[in-house]
Amino acid sequence: MLKDTVVDILKSVTDAILKHEDVGSILNKTVSSICQNLKVETCCIYTHDKSNDVLQMTASEGYLSKAVGLKLKADEGITGHVFQSKRQVNMANPETHPSFKYIKQTGEERFNSYLGIPMMAGNSCVGVLAIQSSRKTRFHEDIVDMAINLASQLAIVVANADIDRIFRDHSQTLKEKTQHNLGNGDLKIKGVPISSGVVYGQIFNLQSEEFWNSIEIRQVKNTEDELAKLDVAIESAKKETTSIQERASQVFIEADASIFFAQLLFLEDPNFVSDIKSGIQEDSMEAASSVRVTVEKYMDKFRDSNDSQLQERAIDLMDVGLRIVHFLIDTDKSLFPTDDMKMIFVGDDIMPSDLMRVSTKNILGIACEFGGSTSHAAILARSLAIPAVLGVTALKESCTTGDHMLIDGDEGTVILNPSKSTLTKHKKKLDNSLLEIQDEDFSEVAKSSDNKRVKVLGNICMVSDFNQLNRYQYDGVGLYRTEFMYMIHENFPSENEQYRIYRSVAKMASPNPVTIRALDIGGDKPLKYFDHPDEMDPMLGFRSLRILLQHREIFEPHLRAMLRASQRGNIKILFPMVAHYEDIIAAKEVLKEILIDLQSWYGTNFKLPPIGAMIEMPSTVWQIESIMQEIDYVSIGTNDLVQYMFAVDRGNGKVSNYFKPMHPIILSALKHITNTAKKLKKGVSLCGEIAGNPLYTPLLLGLGLRELSMPPQAIKKVKPIISKLNTKECRSLVKEALKMKTEQEVHSAVTKFLQDRELLGL
């Protein structure tokens, strides 16, 4: 029922936009819809007047409808508190709030409950959505969720009021100044394997920037035809933008789908459209030419603005221009594939918006000239289980749209226009990529041959990873990497947006637990909108928990979102890159402050979820007992642990032989951790790459590990091995391995162990 109500309210907002209504009309229809559908006495929208630094009641429905125009100081009352703190307030008896202020003309004394939601556009609060009722009870959590979603949409509408001003000013300038300045087959290329699988298909070469720069400024005689084409193209662009926004919300929950909502407002702006038409009517420009000239002029104005939000919108405007031009050009020169084309995407790098333009089931593979394992293309390809190879030198100049390509995501190679004999050689791999999973080993819980339960969990980067994870039986999410959500955003996601995503992750994994790792940025995972320092060795520098502890403005909303989500889901919080005992104490202090604040609003029933630490530095191995006494569990990150233990850059081929996960030194460290956890009765899991490598499974079981977290696709490799191993025999293997001096000795012993049991290569 409530879901239908939310849809009705959101539909009323979208309908108002599509009918070319002004911001005031949109806001008025929104508050009216909320009151009517939610059966509340009043709903108000306050917007921030930057020039006077006041909050003005811009729209209101219900008892306070006569108070429209009321102005509050930006820090006045509970609404001012919501605006300044950028935090929601949901409470009964609002007069007990420390920021409460009685304002005579509002008649607020008749209301016994208050819900205020900050309207966040990026990191800026542009207003407050406030709902009040005479009932003496806090608003239901489902209504709060609805209000949060709605506030994010309204924020875009309000934020675009400044953009409208630029459009109006520039449109007037154009009226005063009407003149524009016119004036190879079987080619195999090696790359980096990113997402496994082998596919063959037709190429679609994404060349957005090259295409944009190739649009010529040309004049025409028949301007009426160009105007008619433009009208059709703009309407088509609106429909596609709405479709992309809907698909983004469904496929990539973490992606900032609101950018498409903002783009829709561009397409609806009468001044923007009028300026494009002016170029056609007054300068006899071709429609596509006028789109380019107009868009670039506005982009320049956005970039010259002192407002960082407007500066960031320049690239959005170019995307809008490309979408319009897409519908102005001939079909055989189309910039984007149609939704019924099965294609291999090729480009410099591929963004979420590129993948959202078509149904993801029609994306056969991805090949990029640039990008590493943490690029947009890599994150999305792995999440959607699309075979991908990145770092393919001279790729775009070697192929064109319509060519054919074979991608081998296992080997990290692409073959352009492969011959029949080449395809025949790869037939088995191609066939295997199409097979569905049917083996019963994947649908049953993991148990060793001597009936010892082993929990197998999944590592995920995005909610869409559940598409793969749900193909197997799994015992929860052992690692949800929050950094990837940040990496596909244009700015820091708001607390409410993070809360919505964490809620979704917990709901999809329910009733199993989800371990959410706190933001792990820096090093090899920089954010383009965070000022990372230049460092000689970023992997040993300012990254991960070190950033969070020094930037409370990032850490606090991040933790608040996790804590709020944990009250309605089985969530555990994990701190990354803990260097020593002091780090855990510092992180817990921040956590304690936030918990006290949340309990003041939600009551003492607001509980702290299980807290854990990543063990990935030698220092934490030797201080493990002190650290464990402060937390509930540990998660061993062997990727970094091995790297730091041997002081080796695992991405540097010249020293890769020093990266030895099977070395007796590493086994000793793991044994020390598991023994301490058992002694203190604390949880312990392992989430590094070796968890998903069957060669290591006998060692991990022999070390006493009973919780392994791995990429979803690795589950099908590890589960069959677990079911055929005897833990007593595995312990004997480890006992012997710990006496050895080299990794090669251990490797030989493990290989023989598996061969003797006919498990090697299973």
Sorted by sequence, the CB contacts under 8 Å of residue 352 that are 6+ apart come out as: 248, 252, 255, 376, 380, 488
Q: Give yes or no for a contact between 461 and 442, defined as CB atoms under 8 angstroms apart.
A: no
Strands 343-347 and 683-686 turn out to be unpaired
Cis previous bond, 98, omega within 30 = no
CA distance 101 to 93: 13
Closest of 546, 544, 552 to residue 593, by C-alpha: 552
CB neighbour burial string for 300-323, b if at least 16 within 10 angstroms, e if fewer: ebbeebeeebbebbbebbbbbbbb
Count of all residues that appear for the chain in the document: 762
CA distance 656 to 603: 53
Task: Report which DSSP code applies to 285.
Answer: B
Q: How far is CA 81 from the centre of its chain?
A: 29
Task: Report which DSSP code applies to 694.
Answer: G
Q: Is 35 noted as a catalytic residue in this protein?
A: no
Q: Give yes or no for a contact between 512 and 474, defined as CB atoms under 8 angstroms apart.
A: yes
Q: What tokens were used for 48?
A: 């921030």
Q: Alpha-carbon torsion 472, 475, 478, 484, what sign?
A: positive
Q: Give yes or no for a contact between 111 and 139, defined as CB atoms under 8 angstroms apart.
A: no
Q: Give yes or no for a contact between 581 and 623, defined as CB atoms under 8 angstroms apart.
A: yes
Residue 613 one-letter amino acid:
A
Q: Is 376 noted as a catalytic residue in this protein?
A: yes
Task: Report which DSSP code applies to 519.
Answer: P
Helices (H) then strands (E): counts for the chain: 30, 22
What are the CA-CA distances from residue 440 to residues 154, 381, 511 (Å)? 49, 27, 22
Q: Which of 376, 489, 558, 663 is flagged as catalytic?
A: 376
Catalytic residues: 376, 687
